[in-house]
Structure 1
Amino acid sequence: MSSSAQDSLAEARHLRVGSQPSATNDASDGARILAALQVHPRASWPQIADVLEMHERTVARRGQDMLDRGLVRVAAVSAGSPGTIIEAETDRGAVRMAAKSLAARLDVSWLHLTTGRSDLIGEITIPDADLAEVVIDELQAIPGARHVRTNPSLRYLRVAKDWDPGVLLFEETRRLAELNEFGTPAYEVRWNVPALDAVDEKISTELARFGRATFVDLSRLAGVSESTVRRRVAKLAASGRIALRAVFAPRLVGLPLTAILRLSVRPRHLSEVASLVSAEARIRNAVITTGRFDFLIQLDTASRADLQEVLSSHPMMKLVDHVETSVVLKSAKRSRIQFDV
């Protein structure tokens, strides 16, 4: 699919995502601020107010309140090692215990409690050299887990930074993206990457704790000038060593139902389905994976009816031989941020 075609699809979806209200009528101030942070997690309140044509004091008050209450968290995450999809069946009454144990691992990037034959579905990022030890010895010993299946991912099609909840107008999203000097252009796992030096390590660690830390605070922590910190953060993001994320529940922007779709397609359709998946703005995460299914997709929707519409009418479904759908009940971890379950 050409880049111009993908741009057209993206623009259209800003005007219609399921049955959501458009940004020109009923979208709440809070949802619009969250959607702005999704595009530019470190945007200042004046920048967001200017782009969204909202009062600066309203944006600052609502935005800071959501940060203070933990409704949205901004953090820097790392692509790290190659991903492996985890699916676990748990003992009766042990799903929360297993979820907490898995989510506590630093190498687990996301984890959901789900309906369907798997009680837990998530992703762990570990070097291939360590895969056997982790899968055989560690994951099989997770408390409460009766059976754990693992399938290494082959290619990332979409990650959290690509997600568009459909709240903002296309022009608003474009302007915010242009203001974001710390955007990560692509998600790429790199092997044999040199270790960060001491300054970058301090900066990355603090941004992982609080992604909106000021350059003044970062410069004091790292012992370098503000201009040096800004330059280093931009370089870390541009190189893919870190990616800044605004993490919040999709229900806060009118998308209360998250589904996980596993798709099986014939080899000759892999490329075409991958292009269609890559262009779908409603998809939060999507990978080509090994195992019984070829694709694993996380899709946020406004209702069961919208999910059914995707399953029955989306162009990619014409090329799918088999689909298995699970609904997310609770999230134990998103973008390496752990939540209470």
Structure 2
Amino acid sequence: MPPTDTTLPDTPAGLDETDLALVEALQLRPRATWAQIGSVIGIDATTAARRWRRLTGSGLAWMTAYPAQHASVVGYVDLACAPGALDALTTELCRWGPVFSVERTTGDHSLFLGVAAYDLPSLDDFVTGRLGRLDGVRSVRLSICTRVYREGSGWLVHTLNERQRTHLTGGDNRTRPRPGGGPHEGDRRLLRALGADARRGHAELARECGLSETTVRRRLARMIAGGEVYFRCDLTQQLAGWPVIATFRIAAPGPGTEAVAHALAGLPETRLCASVTGPDNLLLSVWLRSPADCLTLEERILHRHPGLRIGARSITLHTAKRMGRLLDRWGRARAHVPLTAAPDGALENGRAMN
């Protein structure tokens, strides 16, 4: 009897340590030159650029950008679906710009969605009028994001050492967004162009946006300096060593919620920590090494914060869409759907995305 080969024929290769260091360097300095990136991780500029082209070309990593402040609202939606309708619903929802994330999860609600809308009435219309009327949807549960403590752009691979991080960032790797509403129309055009690839050159951005290269440089420099734009270097977590996404719904006591949320946001595993409406007032999404780590993390959280109650927990079986990127079974990026806010497709959104 021949030996059993458990390796699937289409299983892709993973990412090595240099790849992960390259990703973290871009997480910290998304638009640094290849010479700057290479000097920190120990390779030359040509090699850094070539490695990045290989990663993006194979869908193993990608970069996007979105406004840090905006006029829209974010809702998290749990859908209970008829089993036979799950595939069709997943495919349909991945096409919708206002649905920025689509995860198939364990539990009674087999789809977990992130949705952006122009305002609260628009969110209501979208969730009840569009999502609720889809064939195969049995029930819809909506919670509204009220504050974000960490989102996906704040997560790091944690491959670089402190000296390397300091060399890249000067000791400050995050700029707080300045107060204000959403971006102006000219900035929105620029952000849309950066959404598909946040490392596009100034000349290419100028051609697409119908602006001069000087204007693009000035506007982008202003948005970066003012913390008006979030850049995000993402990767296929399965092949990078974090194959498990766990989501916890947590009830935190009112007086201590702020401190608890900041503590949870500071965990290295945290991809998203947000306060939401409902009895479970904190939403926590984490990347883990194995399913067993779910219990370990939960016990660690409750040990540090004994007043918390975890109301629900789930594991993501497949992420079909993340931050507008359509992903295959291995989490590789295969296409991009521009982010919009329901019902106004001109308004991008991305603040609270895991």
TM over 0.5: yes
Larger helix proportion of the pair? 1
1:113-142 CA-to-partner distances (Å, cap 9, x unmatched) read: 111222111211111231222222112023
Q: Which runs of no fewer than 5 residues in structure 1 stay unpaired?
A: 1-25
Does 1:72 pair with 2:61? yes
Residue 92 of structure 1: CA displacement? 1.2
1:66-96 CA-to-partner distances (Å, cap 9, x unmatched) read: 1112221212223541111111111113222
1:105 to 80, 96, 115: 96
Distance 2:193 2:101 in 1: 20
1:152-182 CA-to-partner distances (Å, cap 9, x unmatched) read: 111111011111232222232333334999x
CA separation of 1:101/1:137 partners in 2, compared to 1, >3 Å: closer, same or farther?
same
Aligned equivalent of 2:306: 318
For the residue of structure 2 that corresponds to 1:65, the secondary structure is helix
Distance 2:99 2:178 in 1: 17
For the residue of structure 1 that corresponds to 2:59, the secondary structure is coil
Contact 1:263 1:295 in 2 (8 A): yes
Contact 1:101 1:142 in 2 (8 A): no
Q: Which runs of no fewer than 5 residues in structure 2 stay unpaired?
A: 1-14, 330-354
1:163 to 133, 148, 155: 155
Aligned equivalent of 2:318: 330
Query: TM-score, normalising length from structure 1?
Result: 0.81
Contact 1:109 1:335 in 2 (8 A): yes
Give the letter for the 1:109 counterpart.
F
Does 1:51 pair with 2:40? yes
1:300-331 CA-to-partner distances (Å, cap 9, x unmatched) read: 11123333221112355423123422111111
Aligned equivalent of 2:282: 295
Aligned equivalent of 1:5: none
2:165 to 153, 169, 173: 173
Contact 2:165 2:171 in 1 (8 A): no
Aligned equivalent of 1:274: 261
Give the letter for the 1:42 counterpart.
R
For the residue of structure 1 that corresponds to 2:122, the secondary structure is helix
CA RMSD of aligned residues (A): 2.7
Distance 1:257 1:194 in 2: 35
Residue 241 of structure 1: CA displacement? 4.9
Query: TM-score, normalising length from structure 2?
Result: 0.79
CA separation of 1:313/1:229 partners in 2, compared to 1, >3 Å: closer, same or farther?
same
For the residue of structure 1 that corresponds to 2:267, the secondary structure is coil
Aligned equivalent of 1:16: none
For the residue of structure 2 that corresponds to 1:219, the secondary structure is helix
Correspondence list, 1:113-192, <5 A: 113-126=104-117, 127-178=119-170, 185-186=176-177, 191=181
Aligned equivalent of 2:202: 215
Residue 202 of structure 1: CA displacement? 3.6
Give the letter for the 1:234 counterpart.
A
1:195-242 CA-to-partner distances (Å, cap 9, x unmatched) read: 413xx3442222122211111222333454433312201223455554
Aligned equivalent of 1:284: 271
Distance 1:255 1:146 in 2: 32
